[in-house]
Amino acid sequence: MKISEDRRKMLKIVTMYYEQGLTQTVIAKKMDISRPVISKILQQAKELGVVSISIKDESAHAVELGLQLEKKYQLKDVIVIPTNEQKQVESLKKEVSRSASFYLKERLKADMSIGLSWGTTLADMIDEMPYCSFPTINVYPLVGGISSEHLYFDTNHLVFRLAEKLNSRCQYFYAPALAESSILADVLNQSQLVGNSMKQAKNVDFAIIGVGNPNESSTWKRLGYIEKKELQIIKKTGVKGDAVASLFDKNGQTVNNEISKRMLGIKVEDLVNIPDVMVIGCGEEKAESIRPLLRGKKCTILIIDQMIAEALL
């Protein structure tokens, strides 16, 4: 079969570039052609199917899902942890938490302020954080504390633990996450202590939050804060998820029901004014709760597993 001179030239350039690893500049000198022409020929080779590039790695599909989500929801970063049949739920959760800790470590810089919500995923992320030294960083709680019997997930405890890992400073939120009544919540919200905590929480540079699905599984529910009566209110008022001090609807707006009124801390609407909001999630049921936050532009960074990513797309 006769090969045209142009085709021969293309095959030679492609072989030197992809097989021999020569740079476009070196090939240009060898072939006595300008570098932009070499670049054009390499592009034509892809378009004609002479060259087909495939990435052979189990993480490639997860990376592609992340890029699709970034584009679809205009996000800064999406990290998707690959899943397979062999991975246990706990192992997957650990990988998501570890990725979140690596990501945070890369983003740390002097004088920044970090805000934390609460829950098991954030507690696991802090477990995975390496010790480092950022004495001018401040860590703030975004919501009130929970009862001492569930200290491991408590926002004030998490703030203290992260500050310890970063050798940084921290503040506490001196109020419960869920007040006994909406009247008590109103009184606390008008106090100077809560007012100061709210002001600090709303002005952080980087917020890290977990998301719950109270219809399926939620830390609120598991720790006994949301019981049968509250679940009926949640179902009746169209709640799709919980984050910070909000129960929110399908559009990522706070549902102003009796439970939301009793929650102390910033609302999902406040997240829009925080430069970076990182949402961490593991488990397919979380997709239903993360989607409204994406629709409402309430987060900029997602660290999730592959099942959530596929459900969101």
Q: What pLDDT digit, counting tens, does each position of 161-193 carry? A: 999 999 999 999 999 888 889 999 999 999 999
pLDDT reported for residue 154 = 86
pLDDT (tens digit per residue) in 60-96: 788 889 999 999 999 999 999 988 766 677 788 899 9
Secondary structure (3-state) at 241 = strand
Residue 1 has pLDDT above 60, yes or no: no
Residue 2 has pLDDT above 60, yes or no: no
Q: For residues 3-31, give the mean pLDDT.
A: 86
pLDDT (tens digit per residue) in 246-298: 999 999 999 988 888 999 999 999 999 999 999 999 988 899 999 999 999 99
Domains and CATH numbers, the chain: 1-48 (1.10.10.60), 59-312 (3.40.50.1360)
pLDDT reported for residue 60 = 79
Q: Residues near 73 by Cβ (< 8 Å), separated by ≥ 6?
A: 294
Residue 12 has pLDDT above 80, yes or no: yes
**Average confidence score pLDDT of the chain:** 88
pLDDT reported for residue 178 = 86
* Predicted model pTM: 0.80
Secondary structure (3-state) at 206 = strand
Place of tokens 């995975």: 128
Beta strand 241-243 pairing with 246-248 = antiparallel
Name the residue with higher pLDDT: 77 or 224: 77
Residue 225 confidence class, pLDDT cut points 50, 70, 90: low
Residue 218 confidence class, pLDDT cut points 50, 70, 90: low
Question: pLDDT over 90 for what percent of the chain?
Answer: 61
pLDDT reported for residue 54 = 66
Return the beta strands (E) in the chain as ranges: 77-81, 113-116, 138-141, 169-170, 206-210, 241-243, 246-248, 276-280, 301-305
Return d(Cα 176, Cα 169) in angstroms, integer.
22
Q: For residues 207-228, give the mean pLDDT.
A: 74
Q: How many helices (H) and strands (E) does the chain have?
A: 14, 9
